[in-house]
Chain A
Amino acid sequence: MRDLLKYGFMFIVLSLVQVLIFNQVHLGGSINPFIYILFVLLLPINTPRYILLLTGFILGLVIDIFSNSLGMHAAATVFIAYLRPFVIRIISNREEDRNNYPGLKQNSFSWFLAYALIMVFLHHLVFFFLEFFTFTHFMSTLLKVILSSLFSVFIIIVSQYLIFRE
């Protein structure tokens, strides 16, 4: 119950912060950070996969409705929600006893950095290529993906130090 409240609150706050603040950020014309996926990143490891997928879809859809980009955020977020268990398995040592919470506080910095980088990059890749739809601007879109991913990861890491410490 406490978890439900906590993650529900996080869902709302991250959605609002994304649509009200970070949707307005466009540094140098090519950097648009999407930090709301921090929600998908931080769900406990033992979260059932259908909950992971469904909350990912709903979160993406909420962002889509606010930004009139119907389906794009939903597709990208469901994609990383599905891949999350595989990403965690790949970057974790088998012997290590994994913590149930994939936050920065509960894990090493390098683990969280790798985790955030891979997840954010995959999400941004799907999103930006869906948005531009064609591969004609392949290089410029890829540059956008990379720069925005780096910026998003930076914000996510900073936010971990500032807010999600508990």
Chain B
Amino acid sequence: MKFRNIKIAAVSRLSLVLLVVILTACLPGPVSQPGNRNITVYAFSIMKEALERDIYPSFAAKWKREHGEEVTFSSSYAGSETVTNQIIQGAPADIAILSIEMDVKRMVAAGHVKEDWRAAPQLGIINKTAFVILVRPGNPHGIKDFRDLAKPGIKLIHPDPVSSGGAQWSILSIYGAELIRSESETGEADSEKAVETLRAIWANVISTPGSAREARTQFETGYGDALITYELEGILMKQAGTPVEMIVPPATIMSEHPAVVIERGLTPSKREVAYAFRNYLWSEEAQKAFVRGNFRSVTSETLNRSNPALAEIEQPFDIRYFGGWERAYHDVIERIFGGKVKSSR
């Protein structure tokens, strides 16, 4: 500004001041100022309601009672694999709640989680849920079991196993259920036949959303004839009045969900509250909250009977049926699904 023209100088100076005022007023600050007692939770998609409605408030109240301090929570929800990738890339999580153990193993390998995470109660598993099939009202395709989804012409929505833990559970559930049936019918588990069924079902998949939650939203908008998902999702949808029917297959898997503390960048004071929170997840209070939120407790089967919405399952099985996650992942997800089913499409 070399003009002595007062008007121009004044106007530009005024606008400069105005600009600075606007800018400083605009600097972004979080809704709740994260202090030492803020816990950042990255969780797989369906954890949201249970955590936010029950677990967070009751833990905060408990901590306040015992330590006289406020605890605040920030959380982010996505497919289990997505959450894991975010954390491995450096997302600032303190606690991760995941759908599958394999994701924890990846974080252990990346050095973010202690190797002895299984030393926690219940081998680090905080809750579980069954896998069910959701269909349109009246069950027009007469679906009673996973194998019915192999019928030609059925349009199935199935989350993407690349990003969703729930999708991997679902594949294990279909495959395991078929093995169990052939075992009970012929006395021998027929893996060839199970692969065939899985392949036929997969051929009916019309959409693979990124997470169980996305799959549900898609199904809710009227897309597809059937959806394989967590029992919890079915209950929530029915409670919300969505016109769906929940089919509980005779044999289905119980998914088990681990919670871990992310050690990276953890300050001592934060470690204290992070571990306190993780351990709280196995308390009776928290387990009751999970059951209220339509998960199943890992500590007490009696608790599960307190929620009438939870279905009776004839032949539940879990990951141990496959010899643990390591083998299940290698044999079923990678070798059978990745190698024989997906590639055959």
A associates with B: no
> Interface on A for B, CB 8 Å cutoff?
none
